[in-house]
Structure 1
Amino acid sequence: MSSENRTPTETVPDPHARPGPEVLDALGTDPTGLTADEAAARLDRHGPNALPTGESESALVRFLRQFKDPMIYVLLGAAVLTTVMGQVVDTIVILAVVLVNAIIGYVQEGRAADALESIRSMLSLDAQVRRDGAWRTVPAEELVPGDVVRLAAGDRVPADVRILEASNLSAEESALTGESLAVEKTPEPVDAEAALGDRSAMAFSGTTLASGSGTGVVTATGTGTEIGHITSLLGEVESMETPLTRQMSAFSTKLSLVVVAAAVVMFVLGGVMYDYGLGELVLAAIGFAVAAIPEGLPAVLTITLALGVQTMAKRNSITRRMNSVETLGSVTVIASDKTGTLTKNEMTVRTVVTADGAYEVTGTGYAPDGEIRCDGRRVDDVRGQEDLHLLAEVAARTNDSTVSREGDAWVLSGEPTDGGLRTFAMKAGIDGDDAHRLAVVPFDSAYKYMATLDEIEGIGRIVNLKGAPDRLLERCDLSADERTAWEARIDELSGRGLRVLAAATRRARSESTHLTTEDVDAGGFTFRGLYGIIDPPREEAIEAIRTVQRAGIRVLMITGDHAGTATAIGREMGITDEFGAVTGAELDTADDAEFAELARTRTVFARTSPEHKLRLVTALQEQGEVVSMTGDGVNDAPSLKKADVGVAMGIKGTEATKEAADVVLADDNFATIGAAVEMGRTIYDNLRKAIVFILPTNGAQGLVILVAVLLGMTLPLTPVQVLWVNTITAVTLALALAFEPGEPDIMDRPPRRPGGSILSGAGITRIVYVSVLLGAITIAVFLGGQSAGVALEVSRTTAVNTLVVGQIFYLLASRFSAGTSLRKELFTTNPISWLCIAVMLLLQAAFVYLPLLQTAFGSAAVGWAGWLIPLGAGVVVLAVVEVDKALRRRR
């Protein structure tokens, strides 16, 4: 029956669980494919086989977002009022400060991610499809459900395809499923509940065919495919605010409300208690608001984070969103994919077992660096160990892969498992001379072995056999006891999470130069031993995990790989629990409470789907955890986007993963995360120091204006002078704190409590008393100048100098939060601080003596007294803070 005469459903639930003919029938097609007319009609109904494009944030929106801060709103309100009152200079200065902050944020902030567009680049461009009974090449976007397609090694699968015929067909699916090995594809249906990585009857859009050939029928296109489902998840995921963003937003809102309320109270009291004019009261209120708002804080925050970004870039960690550097410093849980992240995604022979004993093979990856050990001792002469020598010979000869050095790296050409065997043979000193190969039976999933006929000098013709242990045991001459013993060794290796292959040899039974499966199946082989193969953990990642665990951070492994493999790797890395791995099937059957408990208590999750990873991250966040997710496959992209900070592998990671992530590791080194955590904690410490340093300037200035209005005296500082002090203090002295090195115990502390205040109790206390101290000294200096008959401009300039010099000495005290600053490290650990002090003094000298700035800010030249008095005030500030720190240390 032709396909156009049927009534197709064009959708098939669980096609992997249904026989191929049944799937064809449900899709309204047959092995000859669709007609061109039917394909066109279906294309109109289903739309092109493509994924939706992402929406990028425009430059204008990104720029306007820099003004989204309550403190900026207060300043903009002050600019409007000064404009109405004709105070043009004040308006220009206020708007200039706001604009500079916005430009800094705009320039430093990275572009918004476009993960969907990156996944689009994974899709195939063309497909071999059968239309009108003939094979033709069409753009992959024109495929529709019911199309019959042809698949071959090296192809990218153009849509989700139900396999109908397969010859040694396998697919590399690690980017989609997390499976570290190529997956064999067969037409046989599997269980309806099989995990994505176990659906051997399906080939999935965006994955790559590693070997063989076959045909299949398209069951889903576009957003209906598994990779399309991931794009839907990405579109639904809302990026989380970072802890710092939440804390700074709450801090800005509270501070702005307090400042506005205090300005209103001051305005009312000034009007009731004294005969101020409306204009004077408005200017005084504006001056108070401008004084109390730390308008330089957003710039300090942005610049400090930008410096962190640059530092991390030097350490191979590319930060796409600035706040993410600090967020890494606050994480409480690091969840990581396994394949390619914690492991190298390079198959390695870890153990070999012969009839005479077991051998340990050191080294990882495809570099032939390592040793073969027996009972802890190195085997120097492999050829002298006949059992080991024969096992290495089989590994080298039944092998079509090559491993070669390209620059500083060893690169595999061929199948990963064969690459691991080739590397083992090279470690044993066996190259495997293919020139002596007479015939070969290539590996096929139907019989699960590979055999070669080799002419070996001095021995003759030998058949070498490598493959699945059960298939080789059937073809070897073994007693019942011998077979039972080997089966026990196979089970033991498999229980350690190793992939097990076996080796056997036999003398050729004729002088023929041909070899067939019938020859192999005739048996008579001698069983030579077993290879235990694994995708090994990255050595540097093991130490990195210990480092972050010491810092109080939980580490979870969430992988699509098999439970046994995940448990074994987790055990080696120190992140497994006593119960082993939780499987995706167990997660599916858990209710919300059970799921949350599993997320809270377990550490290894295996056979997981993108939905499982996303749900685990969400469950952890709902429990108040700050979560970092690390991965390299497109299946990790939704959970990376959802996490508080997503970390992608830069070398082997897919573009989709890198676009969804906040941080990209340029060296694919999990250990870089440990360095990033340390940097994040240092940045947070320094930001906290900067806030505790900046706010007393604002507190002192606000106090000066408030006291002046309440006492009915002339303002010691004008609004533009206040802005001058705030701005140059923030961009010079406060910036110096961004270069402070981390405290010695920074990676021995537990993570800070999520949701806590950015200011500690001790910090708030210091802000209060330093504000009062600086404000009182400034008022005293101003009143002293006025009582001595000094001109108003000179008195105000001396008051400004007092604030500036007082802040310089306060900076020296602030560089060490608890320890004394009166030590040699004050001069040796942060030379940038002294450069910033020098710049600050130069700017202040310009404020005092340059005519242009005198006109703009109402300043005037001062004599030596105008500097000595502030110097004495600074010494007092330093002494008081050091006494406070000494008392706290004693308590």
Structure 2
Amino acid sequence: MTEKLWWQLSIAESVTAVGSNIEGGLPSKEVQERQTRFNNSLDSGKQIQPLVLLLNQFTDTMVLVLLGATVISGLVGAMGDALTIMAIVILNAVLGFIQEYRAEKSLDEIKKLVSPHAVVLRDGKTIKIPSQELVPGDLVFLEAGDKVPADLRLISSSGLEIDESALTGESVPVEKNAEDICLADTLLAEKSNMAFLGTSVTRGRGRALVVETGMNTVMGQIAGMMKETEKNMTPLQVRLDQLGKILIAICLLVCALVALLGIWRGESILTMFMAGISLAVAAIPEGLPAIVTVVLALGVQRMAKHNAIVRKLPAVETLGCTTVICSDKTGTLTRNQMTVRKLAVMDKTVEIEGDGYEPRGKFTWAGRSIQALNDKNLKMILNIALNCNQSALRQEKNGYGVQGDPTEGALLVMAAKAGLKNKLEILREIPFDSERKRMSVVVQEQGQYYLLVKGALDYIIPYCSRVVKNDTVKTLENTEKQAFINMQEAWASDALRVLGFAYKPLIQDNWKKKNDLELETDLILAGICGMIDPPRPGALRSVKKCQRAGIVPVMITGDHPLTASAIAREIGISKENRVISGGEIDHLTDSELYKRVLQDRVVARVSPQHKNRIVNVLKAHQQVVAMTGDGVNDAPAIKTADIGIAMGISGTQVTKESAGMILTDDDFSTIVRAIYEGRAIYDNIRKFIRYLLGGNIGEVLVMFLATLMGTPLPMLPIQILWVNLVTDGLPAMALGIEPPEPGIMNRPPRPKNESIFARGLGWIILSRGTYIAMISLATFLIGYYWSHQHGMDGLDLGRTMAFTTLVFAQLFYVFECRSEQYSPFELGFFKNKFLIGAVLISIIMQLFVIYLPTLQNVFATVPLEGWQWAIILLASGFRIILRFILYTWQRFFVFNRGYAKI
């Protein structure tokens, strides 16, 4: 049955194809036989195995490095280090497990969208059954408020409208007509004779045949795509994995060389073994994963304050290298609240201010504000909008909302803006249906009865014989009819949805005797209104920020191409009218699709498969893709994207569970803010990697160079471990919370495959590490030979000077690491108060080791004199002193007072 194009078949052909009976439904015996072949439940794939997920957290290269460091720390007796590293490993594993487990649960959430029950006709009787028991051929009854329990071919409908936004992204309910026959390539959003699993009936009623169940439904295909989605490592995870492998190779090589050279020179095997192990501990930045986790967590907290909830920590950094944002239109770029923008009568066009359901906004004509209720014709239109309406406007916690149809909600808000809020009593109603495309009510106001009519202008204007012009009712001429029709076409090209309004006074008793058709004739055309789901206030500004940052915003929506194009032009995504439709996508190669998406940037009338394909094509061309959405149709693409973003207000639970980030305000501007945070976080990760590795290379090289030169070891193993503790902890952590640099959103995204050592960082780390090693070795030799010249054993003094130089060189170096572009003085030396505090604590800890007798015995140190401190501070702080001199010269002596004021 899955090969049938049910929307292409007539009702009779569908009944025959599915083998059903629309008079009595399926017999029980036939149902039982079909239940052996068909299943109306969604398969969520393999069972989640929590233990396997947890064990997988320990297979990362960096984690293996840390486990090695734990063993080494234990061997040298540094149990404090060993316990700290183990705690870091366990914390990272627990966080990773929780995130992956929750992500895997997203498929289970799809099951909750399936209606638990269905009303069917079987054996000639209407019964209520669990929806899982449905089979193809069952006859299902639908009413307003029901969830569609399977994919259905309608066989009768009366005013039936279904909210399919979860599947299509269409912002308004879709009118359904069982008699329609659609073309084979009809898009999902336009299959007017079908109803799909998981959607909701908003109006009317209908009967339908079950034609597809379970995984063969559209919803089932979405679940299947989510099962097939592969989990990809984020750019940060890839880089840290690469870094871990590099560190393993370097550590094993250098530490083995140092130990072997020392033994070859005659040092004891035990001493060089301990030195080699100590160097291994020093070389491995065991604090790196912890600092990464903390920095990401702090970024998450900052983003939460700006309405972005991050569910997966690495997603924060991924945002920083985003190159394409594939954004849904409805609710993200727009407010998802229909708003009346224009109101036209025969002699004037009125603009209406205000967006969304907030009942505030002025009516303006010819550039000046007017009181709409003082104009008789405008007042009549507002009365029609208010009373010919089944929705309700309600005040909610975070503003206003509409109960009912969003189009009718927009009409209520328009009336409320004018000050009209109290509805009249409805004496008679002719309901809207998909054939008439209009709704009429009879009301009484101040003793006069009126018929009020609203609906599609094309279905109202043929029944109008009069029109209001200059407050006078006159005969409606053909030229005037055409003027309204032309205005409707012009408004439609701007994506405005047009409704017509008409009325007529009624004789008190006579209207009760007339049928619907007789009642809806000889109407007076009052005017038309144009409404749209307007862009969010900050959307234009945010799109410009994206473009300045080298990020391509792409609108992907299930809405009509005209609507998508108009919104895209208004907010600056596109300057042209070119739109890629879902039908076109099917005929484009991957290469053609990639070029069109980046050129046209507007894609409309798409299916879930189209969205998923677009994301995959972009990723295949090395783009880092952020995908936003709220419906179930968005879930596969969100899960496939590098960073999936769900809407917190309008998003389904399925979408939220698939996403790495949730927007609590559903606003595109929040994504741009999150990208800003992501870039700042990655910059900070580079900063403390620069600091940690530069310092660690210095620690390894000072021992390596001393071994090559044949001098005594400049530091003892315990001193190496102390340097690691004092310099790798608090200063690196404080560097990770450095405020963002200026101009961070005025540069292009970094390449997806960029090494963490790109842009000269690797050379900087190596050169600074070499410099630190050389000055540490130099101070060791100065102290060592000075002591010998004065008849003392110079080893303790030399080691104390080298030991202290190594610490202070790294503490000065941490200020250089605050930026790759600016000096610490340009940024403001004291701007990062946490860093100042961390450096002061590290200095105090080092002074304790040098001057407290108890610690002197443990670390084999001696007190330092003034001239020794002068050499240490001059050598370790030489670079930053030069930068200060340059900063002062350029600012004060080159008469550039504005220099470095960031």
TM-score by shorter chain over 0.5: yes
Corresponding position: 1:455 with 2:444: yes
Please report how far the alpha carbon of residue 678 of structure 1 lies from its aligned counterpart in structure 2 after TM superposition. Answer: 1.1
Name the SS for the 1:403 alignment partner.
strand
The equivalent residue for 2:898 is none
CA distance in 2, matches of 1:525, 1:160: 41
Name the SS for the 2:223 alignment partner.
helix
The equivalent residue for 1:290 is 281
Q: Which digits, 9 at most, give the CA deviation of each residue in 1:637-668, with x for residues without a partner?
A: 11111111111111111111111111111122
Match of 2:210 among 198, 218, 240: 218
Name the SS for the 2:251 alignment partner.
helix
Name the SS for the 2:829 alignment partner.
helix
The within-5 A match list for 1:787-866 is 787=785, 788=787, 789=792, 796=799, 798-822=801-825, 825-827=828-830, 829-844=831-846, 858=859, 860=861, 862=863
Name the SS for the 1:179 alignment partner.
coil
Please report how far the alpha carbon of residue 82 of structure 1 lies from its aligned counterpart in structure 2 after TM superposition. Answer: 7.9
Q: Which digits, 9 at most, give the CA deviation of each residue in 1:729-751, with x for residues without a partner?
A: 23210111122211221122222
Inter-CA distance 673–522: structure 2 relative to 1 (3 Å threshold) = closer
CA distance in 2, matches of 1:406, 1:546: 32
CA distance in 1, matches of 2:756, 2:287: 17
Q: Which digits, 9 at most, give the CA deviation of each residue in 1:390-436, with x for residues without a partner?
A: 2212111211211122344112122111111111111122235322x
Which residue type is aligned with residue 96 of structure 1?
L
Larger mean CA deviation between 212-221 and 234-243 belongs to 234-243
- Tell whether the 8 Å contact from 1:11 to 1:145 is kept in structure 2 after alignment: no
Match of 2:242 among 245, 250, 253: 250
Name the SS for the 2:41 alignment partner.
coil
Inter-CA distance 832–164: structure 2 relative to 1 (3 Å threshold) = same
Please report how far the alpha carbon of residue 12 of structure 1 lies from its aligned counterpart in structure 2 after TM superposition. Answer: 5.7
Larger mean CA deviation between 744-753 and 326-335 belongs to 744-753
Inter-CA distance 185–51: structure 2 relative to 1 (3 Å threshold) = farther
Name the SS for the 1:658 alignment partner.
helix
- Tell whether the 8 Å contact from 1:640 to 1:657 is kept in structure 2 after alignment: yes
Name the SS for the 1:589 alignment partner.
coil
Corresponding position: 1:693 with 2:691: yes
The equivalent residue for 2:470 is none
- Tell whether the 8 Å contact from 1:847 to 1:859 is kept in structure 2 after alignment: no
- Tell whether the 8 Å contact from 2:331 to 2:667 is kept in structure 1 after alignment: no
Please report how far the alpha carbon of residue 710 of structure 1 lies from its aligned counterpart in structure 2 after TM superposition. Answer: 2.0
Please report how far the alpha carbon of residue 191 of structure 1 lies from its aligned counterpart in structure 2 after TM superposition. Answer: 1.6
Q: Which digits, 9 at most, give the CA deviation of each residue in 1:291-319, with x for residues without a partner?
A: 33323222222221111111111222111
Q: Which digits, 9 at most, give the CA deviation of each residue in 1:582-627, with x for residues without a partner?
A: 1000111112332122123121000011111111111112222111
CA distance in 1, matches of 2:253, 2:888: 36
Match of 1:326 among 305, 317, 320: 317
Corresponding position: 1:475 with 2:466: no
Q: Which digits, 9 at most, give the CA deviation of each residue in 1:342-389, with x for residues without a partner?
A: 12221111111111121111111111111111122211x213323322
CA distance in 2, matches of 1:888, 1:46: 80
Q: Which runs of 5+ in 2 are unaligned?
A: 466-475, 895-902
- Tell whether the 8 Å contact from 2:574 to 2:602 is kept in structure 1 after alignment: yes
Inter-CA distance 822–129: structure 2 relative to 1 (3 Å threshold) = same
- Tell whether the 8 Å contact from 2:825 to 2:887 is kept in structure 1 after alignment: no
CA distance in 1, matches of 2:793, 2:663: 61
Match of 2:5 among 4, 10, 14: 14
The equivalent residue for 1:400 is 390
Corresponding position: 1:429 with 2:419: yes
The within-5 A match list for 1:65-84 is 65-66=57-58, 68-70=60-62, 72-74=63-65, 76-77=67-68
TM-score using structure 2 length: 0.90
Inter-CA distance 501–854: structure 2 relative to 1 (3 Å threshold) = farther
CA distance in 1, matches of 2:513, 2:875: 96
Please report how far the alpha carbon of residue 14 of structure 1 lies from its aligned counterpart in structure 2 after TM superposition. Answer: 1.2
- Tell whether the 8 Å contact from 1:170 to 1:209 is kept in structure 2 after alignment: yes
The equivalent residue for 1:105 is 92
Larger mean CA deviation between 239-248 and 72-81 belongs to 72-81
CA distance in 1, matches of 2:704, 2:515: 96
Please report how far the alpha carbon of residue 868 of structure 1 lies from its aligned counterpart in structure 2 after TM superposition. Answer: 6.5
CA distance in 1, matches of 2:150, 2:110: 13
- Tell whether the 8 Å contact from 1:307 to 1:738 is kept in structure 2 after alignment: no
- Tell whether the 8 Å contact from 1:794 to 1:859 is kept in structure 2 after alignment: no
- Tell whether the 8 Å contact from 2:319 to 2:675 is kept in structure 1 after alignment: yes
- Tell whether the 8 Å contact from 1:462 to 1:507 is kept in structure 2 after alignment: yes
**What RMSD over aligned residues (CA atoms) do the two structures have, in Å?**
2.9
The equivalent residue for 2:734 is 736
Which residue type is aligned with residue 835 of structure 1?
G
Name the SS for the 2:162 alignment partner.
strand
The equivalent residue for 1:654 is 652
Q: Which digits, 9 at most, give the CA deviation of each residue in 1:526-572, with x for residues without a partner?
A: 21111112111111223222222222211110001111111111111
CA distance in 2, matches of 1:815, 1:834: 12
The equivalent residue for 2:877 is 875
Please report how far the alpha carbon of residue 878 of structure 1 lies from its aligned counterpart in structure 2 after TM superposition. Answer: 2.5
Please report how far the alpha carbon of residue 96 of structure 1 lies from its aligned counterpart in structure 2 after TM superposition. Answer: 3.2
Q: Which digits, 9 at most, give the CA deviation of each residue in 1:424-454, with x for residues without a partner?
A: 111122235322x321111111211111112
The equivalent residue for 2:469 is none
The equivalent residue for 2:471 is none
The equivalent residue for 2:723 is 725
Match of 2:200 among 208, 215, 237: 208
Which residue type is aligned with residue 455 of structure 2?
G
CA distance in 2, matches of 1:863, 1:683: 40
Give the % identical residues: 37
- Tell whether the 8 Å contact from 1:75 to 1:290 is kept in structure 2 after alignment: no
- Tell whether the 8 Å contact from 1:296 to 1:727 is kept in structure 2 after alignment: no
Inter-CA distance 522–662: structure 2 relative to 1 (3 Å threshold) = closer
Q: Which digits, 9 at most, give the CA deviation of each residue in 1:743-778, with x for residues without a partner?
A: 221122222233223234443343233212221222
Larger mean CA deviation between 406-415 and 94-103 belongs to 94-103
The equivalent residue for 1:441 is 430
The equivalent residue for 1:34 is 26
Inter-CA distance 516–632: structure 2 relative to 1 (3 Å threshold) = farther
CA distance in 2, matches of 1:691, 1:239: 26
Please report how far the alpha carbon of residue 502 of structure 1 lies from its aligned counterpart in structure 2 after TM superposition. Answer: 0.6
Inter-CA distance 268–722: structure 2 relative to 1 (3 Å threshold) = closer
- Tell whether the 8 Å contact from 2:511 to 2:519 is kept in structure 1 after alignment: no
The equivalent residue for 1:543 is 541
The equivalent residue for 1:144 is 135
The equivalent residue for 2:402 is 412
- Tell whether the 8 Å contact from 2:60 to 2:241 is kept in structure 1 after alignment: no
CA distance in 2, matches of 1:744, 1:563: 39
Which residue type is aligned with residue 204 of structure 1?
F
Q: Which digits, 9 at most, give the CA deviation of each residue in 1:470-518, with x for residues without a partner?
A: 1111111243322222221111111111111111112225624538653
- Tell whether the 8 Å contact from 1:813 to 1:821 is kept in structure 2 after alignment: yes
Please report how far the alpha carbon of residue 80 of structure 1 lies from its aligned counterpart in structure 2 after TM superposition. Answer: 5.5
Corresponding position: 1:365 with 2:363: no
Which residue type is aligned with residue 452 of structure 1?
V
CA distance in 2, matches of 1:689, 1:628: 25
CA distance in 1, matches of 2:72, 2:540: 60
- Tell whether the 8 Å contact from 1:614 to 1:639 is kept in structure 2 after alignment: yes
Which residue type is aligned with residue 820 of structure 2?
S
- Tell whether the 8 Å contact from 2:54 to 2:94 is kept in structure 1 after alignment: no
The equivalent residue for 1:666 is 664
Inter-CA distance 739–690: structure 2 relative to 1 (3 Å threshold) = same
Name the SS for the 1:630 alignment partner.
strand
CA distance in 2, matches of 1:514, 1:278: 111
